[in-house]
Amino acid sequence: MKLGWAAGRVFAKKGSGPVIIGKDTRISGYMFESALEAGLSAAGVDIRLLGPMPTPGIAFLTKNTRARGGIVISASHNPYYDNGIKFFSADGTKLPDDIELDIEKEIDQPMKSVQSRHLGKALRISDAARRYIEFCKSRFNSDIDLKNLKIVIDCAHGAAYHIAPKVFEELGAEVTTIGVEPDGLNINEECGALKPEMLRELVSETGADIGIALDGDADRLILVDHKGNLVDGDEALFIIARQRMDSLNGAVVGTQMSNLGLEKALQALGLDFLRSKVGDRYVMELLLKHDLKLGGESSGHIINLDLTSTGDGIISALQVLEVMVSSDKSLYELKSGMQKYPQKLKNIRLKSNIDMSEFPELAIAVREVEHELGDSGRVLLRPSGTEPLIRVMIEGEDEAQVDALVDSLASRVESVLQSNV
């Protein structure tokens, strides 16, 4: 409630209009929604409630309804017992740092309600889902349709359960669904982008052309080709980039975790590849800094900036489907233009976060592995941004070499940290 009040105080200085609130399907969303609504009202800001809505749908509707800002209640791919809160600016983008800092300052102040006659009012936008469905369809080439495609879509019992199937059905596809019966507790449970095994089985059983798995808030996707193979965010990014390379201003943005095979494949097309820190926020920063249009993460969070303002699993899937239809090629054929390098990741758990710059031995160990790999591989040693972990990642052309090197480097890192931490 206090966060809603603090955000409301800051948003109140940003022109007129309401603040909109949307959520995914986890049970605690009701509690968070009511508390945020009360806080915003106490700050004198009107509220518009969307109910269950994909995160990118909330970003779109924030801009579409001329709202001062948008709030998403979601923990994305996490289990139902987690939840979180994200904010969007009036433009449907993540809040800039200065506004976040202003909200933090307000949280430190004692909460005080405006006078009763100035309290914010709350209304529900009853046609929110239909507005977003039409927006998604408008991002698809109007000269083609999906009439000859069989699609299986897994909505992870999440925010897109009532939206994604309609988008693909109304564009003409034959759609089979899973993960569309949320009960507040089953979001992401053995389904969705992080657990696509059920989707792979159903694609094979039904003879579908493609499977699409969204996560709980539908801002990212994992695909399955007609042979049951997983197609991750790197491969989807390559497929989209190759089709649209003339409009990409010469470069695509990935992250430190993007596969080296993606970088090599894009360079072969004449496109530069820029790497950001891990996280869609950092991908967006590079896109804006260099006036670029397309970027994404291996996890399937893809940003098409000329189509929408944030990562969107449904719109990203539509871009891949558009390539399939216009080229008359299967997803399996389209992804074959990129050869993924073997990549191995190990996590080393710590008692607390550390500053890696204080351990020069780690930099030496990384340089030695890089020397052994030469130009045919890559090493990444980085702390997790969300928990006390050191991530050790190595990729290269030779899988056996990659396995041996990641084990060796992880052991060296553990040895250094155990003797110093």
User: What CATH number is associated with residue 66?
Assistant: 3.40.120.10
**What distance in Å separates the CA atoms of residue 373 and residue 366, rounded to the nearest whole number?**
11
Measured CA to CA, the distance from residue 170 to residue 132 in angstroms comes to 13
Q: What pLDDT is attached to residue 356? A: 81
Q: Report how far residue 391's alpha carbon sits from residue 77's, in angstroms, rounded to the nearest whole number.
A: 20
The pTM of this model reads: 0.92
pLDDT of residue 69: 96
CA distance 161 to 53: 9
- Within the chain, which residues score under 70 in pLDDT? 385-386, 419-421
Q: State the pLDDT at residue 421.
A: 54
Question: What pLDDT was estimated at residue 374?
Answer: 87
Number of structural domains found in the chain: 4
Residue 318 lies in a domain: no
User: Does the residue 213 lie in any domain?
Assistant: yes
168-191 tens-digit pLDDT:
999 999 999 999 999 999 999 999
Catalytic annotation present for 76: yes
- Give yes or no: residues 239 and 266 share one domain: yes
One domain for residues 179 and 260: no
Q: Are residues 278 and 176 in the same domain?
A: no
On whether residue 31 sits in a domain, the answer given is yes
Report the pLDDT value the prediction gives residue 311, as an integer from 0 to 100.
95
State residue 420's pLDDT score.
58
pLDDT of residue 355: 78
pLDDT value at position 218?
A: 97
Q: Which of 76, 258, 298, 299 is catalytic?
A: 76
Q: Residue 84, Cα to own-chain centre: how many angstroms?
A: 15
Q: Which domain covers residue 348, as residue numbers?
A: 343-420
